[in-house]
Structure 1
């Protein structure tokens, strides 16, 4: 039985960063740390595993730097050093919820990796639950962020990859295997580039941060990363603007496809690339409006995430707590 008066440990695993936080029953982030995801070749899962285990132990113990400046984050204190009541683990996918394993496309060292076994060893005695990172981000935004007024939404993480999570009828919908909402692998261009998932022309091959940079560099743009690219687009660089427009079109294709199928009223966009602001959101809204022909789809709104880098952590905490949609804890 989970003690709903105690904080839970929330974990967010992605190709770029590993993050963990103690989160209070009301969704307040009490203590948070993150570390870059180590580069590890296939066959060396222990490299990433050791980094994650160390991060979890540090957050539970209160060791190391919290937030950006070494102070406790949030308004609820530091959560103490007691063991968390439960652990919610959000991971990039694909994943197997029943087996407790993950095979993130952007972490090649992890294929069928038993992440819940690792969590049980690092944080003994706390029940753990696994869900997709984008499902967690959507749940977090619907609980405490930009989706509080929506009963049918998709939360999308645009970063190293592109993930999506659905909230239907006010409840997160992970699907039977935990992989529902995987918008990054909807095919936007059947004649496009091969995708690491094995398909061709997926949204992720055009709209992720690395994909945008790869295309722009192929057009002669000299920059190195997505942050530089979006800054160049804001400054009016034509190649950078074209790369963002191309990405917005692919992402809009995925959003409208899901909205047609699931009767959505909201798309909440987060992740590192989404931090670009209106340089991404303006062409994205135009592209969605161009493709939204059916009346019920035209009501769809596209908004930025409100919780920033904490969305997945808040959603993972919600799952660990078993908090109902829209509740206070």
Structure 2
């Protein structure tokens, strides 16, 4: 039977009726309410109720994490969701089984099941949109960790200046709205009028401000990716999400990954081979892939989680 699948983002709720094989039969979208829990749940039910005939389950992908009990939610963008058992709240209204999955892991599962990660056993999916999320597949299974908090890209170190005791989390350095704000400020524009596609177009046309700020962004994305790939010896890293559809983004992150390897493994003024250290740079190659599902990755991952329980 078909399934109802939600991808709840900070801005919009994406909703689809999907077959068990992953075909999207219908899709809708509505703005995400941020005022009250009742309005939030009502928005989900308004989408779901007309499509319940011939459906036997509901899958949800959303930002935030579940507490270790696997049910109770802690949100990043809506305070009224903190402590809410989102699964039970939806089941009591829709009278269907519901599963809830973090959006980073859902996107990784989607790309692993139906996208660029097919055929791999060990994969990190990195989701690039307004912020950076991620999900980890180890030995052919999603890995959540003891606190269901594995692969929390939001908190990974991205930029560090130890001499200033300044450590910056990737969730801050990869917040794409900051790029838009900085570009707008440098050009004397209203930040609300500057869009992501515009910034990429300006950079590709040779605009020095847009190009420099995007390069900083690419580097901030590349640093936690480089460390994760080496720590876990992954088959590949898949970049997915809305921004990953930009070809120049994949190229920019790849360029910075190579630069990090070259710079991090050398000491200025010292020939480390004289210290008896030999480096095989092939060990530091990060296998990066462009996502194939991008904006739909979360829908596929939520569906996979509903059907398999993994």
Coarse TM-score class (shorter-chain normalised): 0.7 to 0.9
With 147-156 and 17-26 compared, the bigger mean Cα shift is at 17-26
Q: Does 1:48 align with 2:17?
A: no
Q: Find the aligned partners of 1:221 and 1:209 in 2 and give their Cα distance.
A: 18
Which structure has more helix as a fraction of its residues?
2
Question: Which secondary structure state, in structure 2, belongs to the residue aligned with residue 189 of structure 1?
Answer: strand
Q: TM-score, normalised by structure 2?
A: 0.83
Q: Find the aligned partners of 1:297 and 1:14 in 2 and give their Cα distance.
A: 37
Question: Which secondary structure state, in structure 2, belongs to the residue aligned with residue 15 of structure 1?
Answer: coil
Question: Which secondary structure state, in structure 2, belongs to the residue aligned with residue 175 of structure 1?
Answer: coil
Which structure has more strand as a fraction of its residues?
2
| CA deviation after TM superposition for structure 1 residue 116, in Å | 1.0
| CA deviation after TM superposition for structure 1 residue 170, in Å | 1.5
Aligned to 1:202: 169
| CA deviation after TM superposition for structure 1 residue 176, in Å | 3.2
The 8 Å contact of residues 7 and 25 in structure 1, kept in 2 or not, is answered as yes
| CA deviation after TM superposition for structure 1 residue 200, in Å | 5.5
| CA deviation after TM superposition for structure 1 residue 137, in Å | 0.8
The 8 Å contact of residues 89 and 130 in structure 1, kept in 2 or not, is answered as yes
Spell out, residue by residue over 1:142-184, the C-alpha distance to the aligned partner (whole angstroms, 9 max, x if none): 1111111321111111112211001111212122333211113
Question: Which secondary structure state, in structure 1, belongs to the residue aligned with residue 43 of structure 2?
Answer: helix
Aligned to 1:16: 11
CA 1:56–1:122: 2 relative to 1, 3 Å: farther
Question: Which secondary structure state, in structure 2, belongs to the residue aligned with residue 35 of structure 1?
Answer: strand
Query: Please, which runs of 5 or more residues in structure 1 have no aligned partner?
Result: 1-5, 62-80, 193-198, 325-329
Question: Which secondary structure state, in structure 1, belongs to the residue aligned with residue 116 of structure 2?
Answer: coil
Aligned to 1:75: none
Spell out, residue by residue over 1:284-307, the C-alpha distance to the aligned partner (whole angstroms, 9 max, x if none): 001112224675753422222111
Q: Find the aligned partners of 1:221 and 1:143 in 2 and give their Cα distance.
A: 45
Spell out, residue by residue over 1:244-264, the C-alpha distance to the aligned partner (whole angstroms, 9 max, x if none): 111110110110121122111
Spell out, residue by residue over 1:10-44, the C-alpha distance to the aligned partner (whole angstroms, 9 max, x if none): 2212212212222222222222222122343xxx3
Q: Find the aligned partners of 2:43 and 2:167 in 1 and give their Cα distance.
A: 33
The count of residues paired between Structure 1 and Structure 2 equals: 287
Q: Does 1:105 align with 2:105?
A: no
CA 1:320–1:144: 2 relative to 1, 3 Å: same
Aligned to 1:89: 60
Query: Please, which runs of 5 or more residues in structure 2 have no aligned partner?
Result: 266-279
Question: Which secondary structure state, in structure 2, belongs to the residue aligned with residue 201 of structure 1?
Answer: strand
Computing the radius of gyration from Cα coordinates, the structure with the larger value is 2
Aligned to 1:214: 181
Q: Does 1:262 align with 2:232?
A: yes
